[in-house]
Amino acid sequence: MWQKIYFDLDNTLFSYEYAFQHAIRDTYLELVDHWKEAHLSVPDVPLDDWFEVFKYFSDVYWEDYQNKHISQRDYRRKRYMETMRHFHLPCTPEEADQFHASAYDRVLGYVQPFPGLYPLLQLLADHRFELGIITNGHAHIQRKKCLKLGLERYIPDQHIYISEEIGLAKPDPAFFKLVRGTCCPAEAALFIGDTWEHDVIGALEAGWQAVYLNTQNRPRTTSHQPLAEFQHLYQFYQFIQELLR
Ligand SMILES: [Mg+2]
C-alpha cells in the first residue's frame, strides 16, 4: 500500500477548461456592454459565434506557443486580434492584454470541484495517507485555486508543491523525488494527474505509481504503463473504495 498520495491540480481536481471558457465568455459580454455604453457602432456578434472563432484561433496558434515560437503574450494577442478582425470588431494589442488580464481574474470564480472530490479526500484522510498536490504554475494563482476548492481541510500547506516556488517543474523526476523525500520508498508513492507527458511520465520515471485521470480524453503518447486510467475523478474514488474495503 502507498504512504503518499499526491494529485495534480488543474483538470484533475476541477475542470480548468470549464472555468476558462466561462471566464472568457463573461469578459466578451462585458466588452460588448462597454461598447454599447460608449455608443460605439460595432457589428452585433452573438457570444457563441464569437467564442467558436476565439477557440479556433486559440487552437491555430497553440502549437507555436507550445514550441516556444511565440511568447505567451503574443499567443494571447494573436488569438484575440484574429478573432476581432474576423468579425470586424475594434481591437488593439493593449486591449488584447487587458481582455486576458480581466478573463484570468475571473477564472477563479468558476473553479468548482469535480464530483467525488470531497468523499475521495475524506476517505483517504480517514485511512491516514499523506495527501498533497504537485502542480506547475504561478504560486499565488495555484494557491488561490486550492483555497477556492477548500483543500486545506485535507491537505496541509507544506504538502502543496508548486513549480514556481520549488524551482523544478513536472515532468522532471527530480521534482517527484524531492516531494517523496527519503523516508518513503518510490513504489509507496502514488500520483494522479490528467496530463500524460507531465503527470504520468514524470511520476513513472521517478519510480512512483501513477494513475492517468484522462479528463480531456487524450491519447497516450508513449508506452509507459500507469496503474490505471479513468476519465472521471469519481471513478478513481470508486476504485479506491474497492481497494480499501
Ligand atoms: Mg492538469
Residue 229 to residue 227: CA distance in whole angstroms: 7
Q: Which residues, in sequence order, are CB contacts of 159 under 8 Å at separation 6+?
A: 6, 130, 131, 132, 133
Instruction: Give residue 95 CA to ligand 1 midpoint distance, Å.
Output: 29
To 5 degrees, how large is the angle CA 222–CA 226–CA 228?
130
pLDDT tens for 148-183 read: 999 999 999 999 999 999 999 999 999 999 999 999
Instruction: Give residue 15 CA to ligand 1 midpoint distance, Å.
Output: 9
pTM value? 0.90
- Residue 66: the pLDDT is 87
Instruction: Give residue 42 CA to ligand 1 midpoint distance, Å.
Output: 38
- Paired with 161 in beta bridges are 134
Domain spans, the chain: 4-14+111-244, 16-110
For 221-238, b/e burial (b = at least 16 CB within 10 A) is: eeeeebbeebeebeebbe
Instruction: Give residue 12 CA to ligand 1 midpoint distance, Å.
Output: 6
Residue 172 to residue 199: CA distance in whole angstroms: 10
Instruction: Give residue 216 CA to ligand 1 midpoint distance, Å.
Output: 10
pLDDT by position in tens, the chain (length 245): 899 999 999 999 999 999 999 999 999 999 999 999 999 999 999 999 999 999 999 999 999 998 999 999 999 999 999 999 999 999 999 999 999 999 999 999 999 999 999 999 999 999 999 999 999 999 999 999 999 999 999 999 999 999 999 999 999 999 999 999 999 999 999 999 999 999 999 999 999 999 999 999 999 999 999 999 999 999 999 999 999 99
| Ion ligand 1: residue ranges with CB closer than 5 A | 8, 10-11, 194-195
Instruction: Give residue 50 CA to ligand 1 midpoint distance, Å.
Output: 27
Instruction: Give residue 45 CA to ligand 1 midpoint distance, Å.
Output: 33
Instruction: Give residue 195 CA to ligand 1 midpoint distance, Å.
Output: 6
Instruction: Give residue 225 CA to ligand 1 midpoint distance, Å.
Output: 18
**Tell me, which fold does domain 4-14+111-244 have in CATH?**
Rossmann fold (3.40.50)
Instruction: Give residue 49 CA to ligand 1 midpoint distance, Å.
Output: 28
Instruction: Give residue 8 CA to ligand 1 midpoint distance, Å.
Output: 6
Instruction: Give residue 46 CA to ligand 1 midpoint distance, Å.
Output: 31
Residue 142 to residue 165: CA distance in whole angstroms: 11
**Tell me, which fold does domain 16-110 have in CATH?**
DNA polymerase; domain 1 (1.10.150)
Q: Is 81 exposed, middle or buried (0-12, 13-18, 19+ CB in 10 A)?
A: middle
Sign of CA dihedral 188, 194, 199, 204: positive
